[in-house]
Amino acid sequence: MGDTCTESSLVHGLSNLNVNERIRDDYIMWDEYFMSIAFLVSNRSKDPSTQVGACIVNDKNRIVGQGYNGMPRRCRDNAFPWDKTNPNPLETKYFYVCHAEMNAIFNKNCADISNCKIYTVLFPCNQCTKTIIQSGISEVVYMCDKNKNKPEAIASMKMLEAAKVKCRQLKFTVDGFKIDFKQFVCLQCPANTIVQERSKDGLRGRENCLPWRDYFLALSILVAKRSKCPDQQLGACVVNDENCIVGQGYNGMPMKCSDKVFPWGTDSTNPLENKFLYECHAELNAILNSGLKTKGCVMYTITFPCNECAKAIIQSGIRKVVYLSKPKKEPEVVAAKRMFQAAKVKYRQHKPKQQVVYLDFKSIEG
CB–CB of 74/95 below 8 Å?
no
Q: What is the mean pLDDT of each run of 10 residues along the chain (366 residues)?
A: 46 50 81 96 92 96 95 90 91 94 94 96 97 98 94 97 97 89 87 54 66 96 95 95 94 92 91 94 96 92 98 98 93 97 98 90 77
CB within 8 A of 193, min separation 6: which ones? Answer: 178
Question: Is 101 marked active-site?
Answer: yes
H or E element in which residue 362 lies:
none
Q: What are phi and psi of 28, to 5 degrees?
A: -75, 140
**pLDDT for res 203:** 52
**Greatest Cα pair distance in the chain:** 88
CA distance 285 to 114: 23
**pLDDT for res 55:** 97
Q: What are phi and psi of 308, to 5 degrees?
A: -70, -40
- From 101, 273, 279, 283, the catalytic residue: 101
Q: Which domains does the chain have, with CATH numbers?
A: 30-174 (3.40.140.10), 214-349 (3.40.140.10)
CB within 8 A of 316, min separation 6: which ones? Answer: 287, 290, 294, 295
CB–CB of 251/227 below 8 Å?
yes
> What SS3 state is found at 103?
helix
Task: Give the predicted TM-score (pTM) of the model.
Answer: 0.87
**pLDDT for res 172:** 87
CA distance 161 to 149: 16
**pLDDT for res 184:** 87
Chain-centroid distance of CA 119 in Å reads: 12
CB–CB of 239/251 below 8 Å?
no
Beta bridge mates, 19: none
Question: Which of 176, 158, 55, 36 lies closest to 105, judged by CA?
Answer: 55
**pLDDT for res 173:** 83
